[in-house]
Amino acid sequence: MKLQQKVIIITGASKGLGVSMAETCSREGANVVLAARSKPQLEAVAERILQSGGEVETVPTDMSCPEQLDALVARTVERFGRIDGLINNAGVNYVKPFLEIDPAEWRRVLDVDLTGSFLLTQLCARRMAHQGRGGSIVQIASVHTHASLAGAAPYDAAKHGMVGFSKAAAVELAPLGIRVNILSPGLCETEIWKDIVAAAPSEKECIDYWNANIPGGRLITAEEISRCCVFLLSNDSSCITGANIFADLGMTSLLVSREPYVSSAIASQ
């Protein structure tokens, strides 16, 4: 087991990627602390982990409330005695035309996705430094840290900011054995994907479009992203810090949208 007896905090653990991260880390031997706003959903995830023999703690947490982040760290240390890893997965996605975004909407996204992640990273890193045994922090960003889509200004700003402060933290914390990396997923089979399909006029056209613009030709599974997190939390990635890793099946390497036809070969002249 790659995470045997490590204590890992996972935010946004009540649904989507967070649930898979919690279950995968537990299977790899970690003691997991699950944080999200919904207590009933957290408890449902925890019950499945307990039934499989894992150790788990749930702490209802709003990432925009600094006092609740303090309580999350305090409860983790009270229950397990230390913190070995953090997956900063919680986030608010947001789509609205740039000219129509009001300041309250902007602040909400940045409070959760950027400021909350920064504060929790700082709290966990302080604890890791005090423990003197290093640690690993994984920030869940997005392919939006490479390029944008219309309507995503607050989300993009938050995720770019996450990359910025994480690289700075990685440089400063490296001498303490604390690693900070960013994982930027592409399009995954989560609730966000369901929202995308539901908003499209045709489910088939939506699926065909996205598959044509992902070189891998499919969506990424939550399990695949979770396995990447396990790698970054484990000693297998001991030489990696300050990296922004794109787990996107080639999406950010595609120069332009794929043609809706097959071109003939072009010979050199």
Catalytic residues: 155
Cross-strand partners of 35: 11, 59
Closest-CA residue to 222 (of 181, 180, 179, 183): 183
Q: At what angle do helices 39-51 and 16-27 cross, to 10 degrees?
A: 30
- Dihedral class, residue 22 (left if φ above 0, else alpha if ψ from -120 to 50, else beta): alpha
Residue 230: what residue type? V
Spatial distance between the Cα atoms of 170 and 180, rounded to a whole number of angstroms: 5
The continuous run of DSSP H or E covering 31 comes out as: strand 31-36
Largest CA distance in the chain: 71
